[in-house]
Structure 1
Amino acid sequence: MGSGKTVLLLGSRGGLGRAIGARLTADGWTVVGVDLPELDLSLREVVAPAVARLQQEHGGFDALVHAAGLYPAAPVANGDEELFDRVLTVNTRSAFAAGAQFVRGCVAAGRPGAMVFVSSGAAARARKGTAVYAASKAALDALVRAFALEHGRDGIRCNAVSPGFVDVGSAVNPVPRSYVEAVEEASVSGRLGRPEEIAAAVAWLLSEDASWVNGRSVPVDGGDGIGSVGGPSWLG
């Protein structure tokens, strides 16, 4: 439980962000939520200063959750470098900047801390049209390992959750209904994920129950990372 502890939640107004904020609040955390328009994660030089300012205003944080992200669809051969830069900036660079500043604040104050980044099963599983998104999440997983390795002895843990597909009806990341239905049809569990299920995993990773979990990206995908029931079979 997070009684008496404060968490900085980036992406607090998104579908997953709202669920995470609600769950952590119910668990006793004081949640400081930040999202557009007060913080634009696509602006490269603003994230670390914003986190530093919030640390000062709130007397530091016990945890950081990065739940913001872009989910575009584009053929890899389009070679849209502007899209690549924008997605990597929001999904990965902002997590790197926020995480680094969170760590600096914890180390300076001599306090432990925990971070959770929202990654994706796409980091390890190819799907047509998701090359840029997948690259951003694979890089995010690498950052998780780096933060854990370099600062575990400072009492700071860093992990990620890797959700399967969760339909949050996002206006920022709209997904065609036909795609949503196809993913659900192919799902191992026969349904899509729910935001509160991802939030529960985040809450666990921040809790003392997960104190021996560090540098990991935890799948929360109903089994979809193991394969698809819609693939070819010789069972007839």
Structure 2
Amino acid sequence: MISVKEASMVYDNGCRALNKVTFRIEEGEFVFLVGASGSGKSTIIKMLTAEVRPVEGRVLVNNFNIGKIKKREIPYLRRTLGVVYQDFRLIENKTVYENVAFAMRAIGASGKAIKNRVPYVLELVGLIGKEDCRPVELSGGEQQRVAIARALVNNPRVIIADEPTGNLDPERSLELMVLFEKINELGTTVLIVTHAKELVDQFGKRVIMINKGEVASDQTGGYYTYEEE
């Protein structure tokens, strides 16, 4: 569960990135977070992952209070989240299997748990048969699927995807969104940060639009255009 109430963020240079933002995402929801470049979307992701803290208001993520979270608690917060980045962030000299297994090893999972979980997740994202490939041998869409598998492998409560289709063509982008929908149907909360209007409109999900650091709209059914200046 994510609860953001009257949250504001001001960077050290004086830039006010967010101004009294309020929204709530319940367990099991599928939500698009949209807005123009510089609208505050990236700051929201940083706040949800405790890279930054609100200067005002309250942010709760899976029962962690971001404004009051202790440094030693941040890794435990992040274990409840799976974050997918536009640039994939794969380890180039490791295979698909090793990239995904690495995320489990990082939290101390046993060899048996890794052996059981990694093939399941690779099958879920459609990468069976690619286990021994390295990232350079994969298409952009396949690399993004590896990144999704890595985010999923520790069974997070929430998946946050930051512009996951930014480097993909329309057909691969649609396939990826269908995959996120499948992941959501299995019970994981999904938050997709994007500006891909046509893609958002195809899915009819809840859309939170950010404009100039504020929530401009929060509705279900499509990308609700706000006059961007």
Task: Indicate whether the TM-score tops 0.5.
Answer: no
**TM-score for the superposition, normalised by structure 1:** 0.29
Structure with more of its chain in strand, by fraction? 2
Structure with more of its chain in helix, by fraction? 1
**TM-score for the superposition, normalised by structure 2:** 0.29
